[in-house]
Amino acid sequence: MSGLVKKRLAFEVQFKNITFILTQIVRMQIDLEAEKKEILNRYKNLIKASKRRLEKGDKEIIRKAFEVSVEAHKEMRRKSGEPYIYHPIAVAQICAEEIGLGTTSIVCALLHDTVEDTDMTIDDIKGMFGEKVAQIIDGLTKISGVFDHTSSIQAENFRKMLLTLSEDVRVILIKLADRLHNMRTLDHMKRDKQMKIAGETLYLYAPLAHRLGLNAIKSELEDLGLKYTNEDWYRDIVQKLKETEPVRKKFIKNFIDPLNDILKEQGFKFKIFGRPKSIYSIYNKIKHKGVPFEEIYDLFAIRIVIDTPPDKEKADCWKIYSIITDFYHPNPDRLRDWISTPKSNGYESLHTTVMGPEGKWVEVQIRTIRMDELAEMGYAAHWKYKDAAAEKESNLENWLRRIREMLDNPDPNALEFIDDFKLNLFSDEIFVFTPKGDMKSLPLTATALDFAFEIHTKVGEQCIGAKVNHKLVPLSYQLKSGDQVEILTSVKQHPKEDWISYVVTARAKSKIKNALKETRRKIAETGKELLEKKFYKCKLDYTIQNVNDFVSFLKLPSSGELFYRTALGNVDVKEIKEFVEFKSHPERFKSKKKENKIEELVTNIRGSSDMLVIGDDMQKLDYGLSPCCSPIPGDDVFGFITVNEGIKIHRVNCPNAVKLLSNYAYRVVKAKWNNDHLISFLAGIKIKGTDEMGLVNNITKVISSQLNINMRSISFDTEDGIFDGTIMVFVHDAKHLSNLIENLMKVKGVTSVTRIDNN
């Protein structure tokens, strides 16, 4: 091949390459041009959606935010390949159109990812758009890290997010819009990312949307969450809804037609239509109530929305209720009046269930245009109805107040903190009344003690009981809607450890935990002084080093725990003398330690050469304290392997011990108490003596005042000058109980104090 031909072929290849490159550039240019047009088109739709809320100068601010966002995200693309700017515009569109937010929120939505994803800083935002926009963007940036990294960082981020939320509710409204658009475009993510984001959505964001009254957004978030966490169920329900749609439409038409005619005759301006239940709510009914799809009667609800003046709203809703129930028989147990007592998220509506055609129950929702907008758009719609919604806005303020209180003393455990916060997102609630008739909303299953803390922290801390509808009830009594509650208090009362199990609200839990910490700290202060005296008595220098070494010697978690136990009388001179000996001759204690070592119950039950291993599931067996002898730490105990109840711990002198040890020795394992935590255990004592004046008062003084022991119950019986008493107390171990018995024996008139072996 000649050189000329070679050159020509090389030129042709080069020409083709150049042509291909130029074609690609032209195509790219066309695509870029098309994208620019699409971006502008989406921006115009945003302005159109927000037009009715815009005031003078607002359009210019939104345009500026749009341009800043376009420039900041110009090199970025989403997983789908689309320009990233599509996302902030879509979030702003949801804020304007579906939530009904104003200019500040639209600006923040357009800029919400700039600080996190680009070189822009909060100070840049503040310089261009002011303090308020910067504050909201800062809150939005902090939320993004809530579910990532370690739990301690998670807790801190969650706290910061809530702090911003409590200052400006728009933070969470914009975040919900952001999450909704992410859920709508989740198809392009990897499966593990889809599961993570969908799980977060169902765990926190959907309940938040519900709590803020964003019903439409809450339902869509739940449906999309189900789509990515349980696709088979989602598709199955969608398919069944499609298949049954023609029958459903026909039924709705037959139900609505006669009502249409009557309401028109009565002169009402209204809309009436069938509204399908969300896929997620159908899924919940199938899963939790065990009802097949075919047997769910409320796949839809009939909604009647009337146009009526504010002063006639309530009366007209009840008029329509009367018309409907004249035509269709109502179920008296299914009337829900959310007009007289709106839900704490602002929801107002009148619900009834009536027997429709073909013998099927149908839910009917009656509301006004204002109520409907509040139900669908939540608190964002309240700005439109500011005067009428004043009461509901105060409900939001109450909720935000609770969040602020939680933030004052948040639980250091991230998951507990988030769970406590979620208690404030309750979907079911009750309404109870004070003696003066003031109404309070509480979560379903709230107790009298929850109500006490809802009134005031001091009332909660000093609560000794309650009267519900004029009848005395315990602190743990579960309230019901309509209950009138009077709290009984005493200045001598203080929060107890078991109170935590009596309450469900985050506020009450937080306040009880704080009070217990403070009480424990005060007791520990007394113990510190007491320990110093005991050290000097044993000729041991009271230094930080010696205290820390003593903590290690007793295998306690902290010096605070040591001081606390000392105050309760659980650290005596004998142990300090042993510690002094240990410091002088540590080698003696090594051999002792080996002799006294007892295998820990669960870890050594498997694979130990001198013990029988029963099945592979042995390590999964739980411990349980046997009720026949109620062992407490310090008692000599053994474990007995049961077939169905795991390992039961018995005292060596238990009434059943002989039988168990002789007949079933192969099922007995060695056991010892863990010394790491000081927990309260219930124990019973019997007291006998002569009936002296003020005896009961002297006994309770020793228990409560001198030894800081909590009593669960106390009962005394006297006959012919002799008394017989039973007291149930919470103690930490056998030494604690022994100390109590010794002190009670010193009370004048007491002749015997014994532990109850079987309670």
Catalytic machinery residues: 116-117
- Which H helix or E strand runs over 722? strand 722-731
Rounded to the nearest 5 degrees, what angle is found at the Cα of 592, between the Cα atoms of 587 and 594? 100
Residue 361, SS3? strand
Q: Name 413's Cβ contacts closer than 8 Å, sequence gap at least 6.
A: 151, 155
Phi, psi for residue 428 in degrees, rounded to 5: -105, 135
Tokens of 615: 């099945």
550 within 8 A of 565, measured Cβ to Cβ:
no
Where does 583-721 show beta strands of DSSP type E? 623-625, 637-641, 647-651, 668-670, 681-690, 710-719
Report CA 547 to chain centroid distance, whole Å.
Answer: 39
Residue 85, SS3? coil
- Which H helix or E strand runs over 510? helix 506-537
CA pair distance 585, 714, nearest whole angstrom: 48
What is the per-residue DSSP string for 95-111?
A: IIIII---HHHHHHHHH
374 within 8 A of 349, measured Cβ to Cβ:
no
Residue 478, SS3? strand
CA pair distance 584, 758, nearest whole angstrom: 44
- Kindly compute the dihedral angle of the four CA atoms of residues 556, 557, 562, 567, in this order, to the nearest 10 degrees: -110
Long-range contacts of 260-269, Cβ-Cβ distance < 8 Å, separation of 24 or more:
262/323, 262/327, 263/304, 263/320, 263/323, 266/319, 266/323, 268/306, 268/308, 268/316, 268/320, 269/306, 269/307, 269/308
Helix 131-143 / helix 170-184 crossing angle, nearest 10 deg:
50
Q: Name 322's Cβ contacts closer than 8 Å, sequence gap at least 6.
A: none
69 within 8 A of 42, measured Cβ to Cβ:
no
Which residue from 751, 753, 740 is spatially nearest to 689, judged by alpha carbons?
751
Strand order in the sheet with 668-670: 623-625, 647-651, 637-641, 668-670
